[in-house]
Homo-oligomer: A and B are copies of this chain.
Amino acid sequence: MANISQKAGMMPASAIRKLVPLADKASSKGIKVYHLNVGQPDIKSPACALEAVAKNGLDHVSYSNSAGLKELREGLVEKYYKKIGINISLPEILVTVAGSEALNMALQITCDEGDEVIVMEPFYTNYNTFAFMNGITLKAVSTDIRDGFNVPSMKDFEKLITPRTKAILISNPGNPTGTLYGKEKMLALGEIAKKHDLFLISDEVYREFCYTDDPHFSAMNIHGLEQNVILVDSVSKRYNLCGARIGVIISHNTEVMKAAMKYAQARLCPPVFGQIATIGALDTPASYFREVRNEYIERRNFMVDTLNKMEGVYSPLPMGAFYTVAELPVDNAETFARWMLEEFNIDNETTMITPAASFYKTPGKGINHARLAYVLEIPEMKKALHILEEGLKAYPGRTV
């Protein structure tokens, strides 16, 4: 029996999905599980996207250009990015297999094995997975829940910069925190990147989910940093097309885009049906985003209010995405999450949350934090949060 590689053995398993077997087990015992653990919203995709797929008219499904269908790239440039103030030309955008591939490409393009990338913790856990796959070390700047996980002092970044540092990787609005970095914070990050000539990889897949009155400020609009910014984007969240697996990588840097094309050609092309759905999605009316945004603001307000009324629980008010990271009065949020699935229920219903320690790089950090997604309708969420509250009261490892 041949042995698998050491690297495959050491590859981190998904922190977000590792409790799924426990949830499945609970379900199989007849327990209904409320999923506050994943960012899978229940909101409909735009009808124009679904219609485009239904009426695709293909009689065979050929490869597209490795960079994506030209109609899609042109549509994205003209109908989407131009409208939101991101001005790019056709060679500066390449369609990827969702944001995941765009992110992986951005890391491969900027870093050799042994290089370092600075992130802010808590960060999206797959940043760590893709870094591992590419032999890259993540260095984490800590942020503070009481400061809403916002960008800390630039000194905290500079302390971590070494000759091997190649990039700063951010997600704005942030997963898991929902934190929105405003223009001032973005310009400060841009200054650091410029001073040390680092790439700024900006994951903006939650761009349409911003709850302030100011428009989202993209890293693409940091003046003077055009050659250093790589934008990672996706239609998964924007149009609720998670399963379509369509994203993009965007940069004004021609060397970056030339390299991206080589990686793109190796995997031949992005999924064609998903590309067709996205071409359709480009005609989504503004009212769709308004309605979705209003819905999420209500859900967010409800979740955060409810959480903060629970004894010993603290959640900041996130200004973007559809997550919050809350502090729980427990010894260990993972132990608690497992206990909720294995031991606790009210009338055969329980609630699933994602323990947040794996969103941190610093050992021991975030041990009593959990990520909660406000992706359920309010009546459902109300039940889920009630069960959570009662669970917290009954949990043997409660700390207050």
Residues of chain A at the chain B interface (Cβ within 8 Å): 1-9, 11-14, 17, 38, 40-45, 50, 53-56, 58-64, 66, 97-98, 100-101, 104, 108-113, 115, 126, 129-130, 133, 135, 166-167, 193, 197-199, 227-228, 240-245, 253, 255-256, 259, 261-263, 265-274, 277
Partner of A268 from B4, B98, B135, B253 at Cβ < 8 Å: B98
Partner of A266 from B3, B111, B133, B198 at Cβ < 8 Å: B133
Interface of chain A, helix or strand or loop or mixed?
Answer: loop
Inter-chain CA distance A14–B320, complex, in Å, is 40
Inter-chain CA distance A66–B38, complex, in Å, is 13
| 21 examples of A-B residue contacts, CB within 8 angstroms | A2-B199, A4-B259, A5-B108, A5-B115, A11-B262, A11-B263, A40-B63, A42-B60, A50-B61, A53-B54, A53-B56, A54-B56, A60-B240, A61-B241, A63-B243, A97-B267, A98-B267, A242-B268, A244-B271, A245-B245, A245-B271
Residues of B within 8 A of A135 (CB): 113
Inter-chain CA distance A9–B56, complex, in Å, is 38
Residues of B within 8 A of A58 (CB): 45, 50
CB A322 to nearest CB in B, in angstroms, measures 14
| A45 x B59 contact (CB < 8 A) | yes
Q: Which of A42, A259, A273 has the most CB of B within 10 A?
A: A273
Inter-chain CA distance A266–B133, complex, in Å, is 10
| A166 x B55 contact (CB < 8 A) | no
With A108-B8, A277-B273 as contacts: A265 and B45 at CB distance below 8 Å:
no
| B11 x A242 contact (CB < 8 A) | no
Q: Which of A54, A130, A228 has the most CB of B within 10 A?
A: A54
- A64 — nearest CB in chain B belongs to which residue? B243
Can you add 12 more A-B contacts, CB < 8 Å, to A2-B166, A61-B240, A245-B271? Answer: A5-B109, A7-B113, A8-B108, A8-B262, A11-B259, A12-B262, A14-B66, A41-B60, A61-B241, A104-B267, A244-B272, A273-B274
With A8-B109, A11-B259, A110-B5 as contacts: A273 and B243 at CB distance below 8 Å:
yes
CB A140 to nearest CB in B, in angstroms, measures 19
Residues of B within 8 A of A8 (CB): 108-110, 259, 262-263
